[in-house]
Amino acid sequence: MKYNRILLKLSGEALMGQQQYGIDAERLMQYASEIKSVQATGVQVAVVIGGGNIYRGVQAEAFGLDRVQGDYMGMLATVINSMALQSALEKLEVSTRLLSGLTIQRVCEPYIRRRAVRHLEKGRVVIFGAGIGSPYFTTDSAASLRAIEIEADVVLKGTRVDGIYTADPEKDPTATRYPEITFDEVLSKNLNVMDMTAFTLCKENNLPIIVFDMNTPGNLERLLNGEPMGTLVSMGGTGAGRDGRKPLHEPAQSPLLPLVGNQPEQA
C-alpha cells in the first residue's frame, strides 16, 4: 500500500445509483464493502460524503428561498448520507465514528480534529458529516480541509468517470484521460476537478488528489494496491506529489500554531 491515511470523497449523487433521488441500498452496501476491504489492510480511512442526492443549497435559491438556509439543509443531507454509510459499515462489522461539522449530539460526535485522528489510529473508519459546517462551501471543500487537518496522504475523489479528460468524454469521443497532471496544468487548461476553494486548498498544501471511478467494484482496493488508475493531480516534478508531500507540522516551516491537547477524548 502506498498510503497510510486516506480521505475518500464520495458524491451524494453517486449514492442514488439508478434512482432519481435518495439512497440506493445496493450502491451503499457496495461502497461500505469497498471501504471495509481497504480498511482491513491497515489503511486508515476517513470519508466525506456529499448530499446532492437529497438537497443542494443552490436549489433553495432557484426556488427563491434563502441560500444560507438551503446550504444548512444541504449539510443536513450529508449527515443523512453519512448515517446511512455508518450503518452500512456497521452491518459489515466495521467500527466507525461519525463526526459532524454541525452539532447534532444525539446522532454524532462534534468534529474535533484530535479526536478524529485518535479514532483513525484506533482503526475506526471516520466519517465527516455536515461538510465544514458553514454555508457557501461544498463537500469537496470539506474533503480538502479535513484531509489537510488530519494529515491524510491523499484525497481520493470517487466519481462515475475514471479520471480527468482532455474534454468531456461523454460528449467528445476523441477525449483522452490524463494519468497524471499538475495543479498548475489543471488551472491553465481550465479543467474541472473540484470547485476552486477545494482545489486551492489542496494545491497550497501540496495534498495530491486522485480522481477515479468508484462505481466499478474493487477499484478502490486496486488503486491502493498501486494499479494505475484514474488521474493523479499533484505538484509534479521531483520531491512533490504523493510521496514527496512534506508533513504539515514540520516545526520550522509550519504555519500552524501548536494545539493544546486539552480536548476530552472519547474511547
Please report how close the Cβ of residue 121 comes to ligand UDP at its closest, in angstroms. 25
28 binds ligand UDP (CB under 6 A): no
11 binds ligand UDP (CB under 6 A): yes
Q: Which is nearer to ligand UDP, 61 or 180 (CB)?
A: 61
50 binds ligand UDP (CB under 6 A): yes
Q: Which is nearer to ligand UDP, 57 or 163 (CB)?
A: 57
230 binds ligand UDP (CB under 6 A): no
Show the site string, 107-136: x = touches ligand UDP by CB under 6 A, - = not: ------------------------xx-xx-
12 binds ligand UDP (CB under 6 A): yes
Q: What is the SS3 assignment for 77?
A: helix
Among 3, 35, 52, 194, binds ligand UDP (CB under 6 A): 52
Q: Which is nearer to ligand UDP, 192 or 254 (CB)?
A: 192
75 binds ligand UDP (CB under 6 A): yes
Among 30, 138, 206, 231, binds ligand UDP (CB under 6 A): 138
Among 137, 178, 183, 199, binds ligand UDP (CB under 6 A): 137
Please report how close the Cβ of residue 132 comes to ligand UDP at its closest, in angstroms. 4
**Pairing relationship of beta strands 209-213 and 154-159 according to DSSP bridges:** parallel
Where is 5: in which H helix or E strand? strand 5-10
Where is 127: in which H helix or E strand? strand 125-129
Amino acid at 138: T
**Pairing relationship of beta strands 44-49 and 5-10 according to DSSP bridges:** parallel
Chain-centroid distance of CA 90 in Å reads: 20
Grid look-up 479526536 returns: 115
Counting every residue written for the chain, the total comes to: 267
Rg (CA), the chain: 18
Among 78, 159, 182, 219, binds ligand UDP (CB under 6 A): 78
51 binds ligand UDP (CB under 6 A): yes
Burial 211-220 (b: 16+ CB within 10 A, else e): bbbbbeeebb
CA angle centred on 31, ends 151 and 202, rounded to 5°: 30
Q: Which is nearer to ligand UDP, 134 or 205 (CB)?
A: 134
What burial class does residue 67 get, using C-beta atoms within 10 Å of its C-beta: 0-12 exposed, 13-18 middle, 19+ buried? middle
Grid look-up 491553465 returns: 188
- Site residues for ligand UDP per CB under 6 A: 11-13, 50-52, 56-57, 70-71, 74-75, 77-78, 131-132, 134-135, 137-142
